[in-house]
Copies of this chain bind each other. A is one copy, B any other.
């Protein structure tokens, strides 16, 4: 039985055949990683519609040994300009129609490709690998599960060891959270952590400052861990000390909207419908203007990838897609709440990967 990467290349070959392409020149490094397992910083891949026997992997001399180990099953070329080396290989193979990643290849890069392979028709083929990447296979879900677990454990440790006490700065909390994710197996944070206290919690993408945590504050923590190249994404909002009535109300509203959004995740659901289901809850409570972003996004080798769950999104969910659900209500000058999980769409009900409680935590 073929391994993970050959199976992914097989799926891509079916797309190539449907698009009547002889091959695809994959230059996006994450797409190369997805299709081969190669983790270096310079590579490209020529995937032939005919089969792996005709496909060619390229990297430069720094990665000769590494690529021999990680990509043992494909013909390898060593070159600094992999895009051009593989365009030349495509010309040599006599391909008539070569797809290229027109959403990634630059205008100057395209000119260089055309100069290298003047007899090959370069066909725009944007997003072919990304379309496959939307649906995660078991290996990917396992990496996401580990990344989500590292984040869950880091937050649990942070709270258990008094990391969210009054007088600490947002920056100190962010740093401790990130260090604790490393303790739990993360290779790093999956993005710059957001720690936002008090009025700062009303800023959706606040960056941690030297602002101090005070009694009565909302503290919003939006963070994630990176494991095997896969990103987790989670937001929790806690209160320091006894919550005020308005805090309980806003929290309950966002929690209800978030549960509604999660419940709407099923194969075949339109991404706009899912966004609308959660948004309606907040709209009806009169806070629609204060939910200023989309409901969620796909997550995997990138922290933000397809699909987009928003008013502007497009398409339907399918089983195996990994997405976030993260409504928020932000009251300028007072504070805001966002609650976010990472989940996998399943035939019955979505699989929750971020397991930290969504009850209002009072620290």
Contact = CB atoms under 8 A, between A and B. Distances in A.
A65 B62 CA distance: 44
Contact of A107 (B106, B175, B179): B106
Nearest to A105: B107
Contacts of A110: 107
B292 A61 contact: yes
| Chain A interface, DSSP helix/strand/loop, else mixed | mixed
B104 A106 contact: yes
Contacts of A61: 292
Interface in A194-214: 203-205
A105 B103 CA distance: 9
Interface residues of A, number: 23
A245 interface: no
Interface string A41-76: 000000000000000000001100100000000000
Interface in A9-26: none
A126 B108 contact: yes
Contact of A102 (B104, B108, B126, B205): B108
Interface string A161-175: 000000000000001
A293 interface: yes
Contacts of A182: 175
Contacts of A175: 182
Contacts of A203: 65
B107 A205 contact: no
A349 interface: no
A65 B332 CA distance: 12
Interface of A: 61-62, 65, 100, 102-110, 124, 126, 175, 179, 182, 203-205, 292-293
Given A100-B107, A108-B124, A108-B126, 9 more contacts: A62-B204, A62-B292, A62-B293, A102-B107, A102-B108, A103-B107, A105-B107, A106-B106, A175-B182
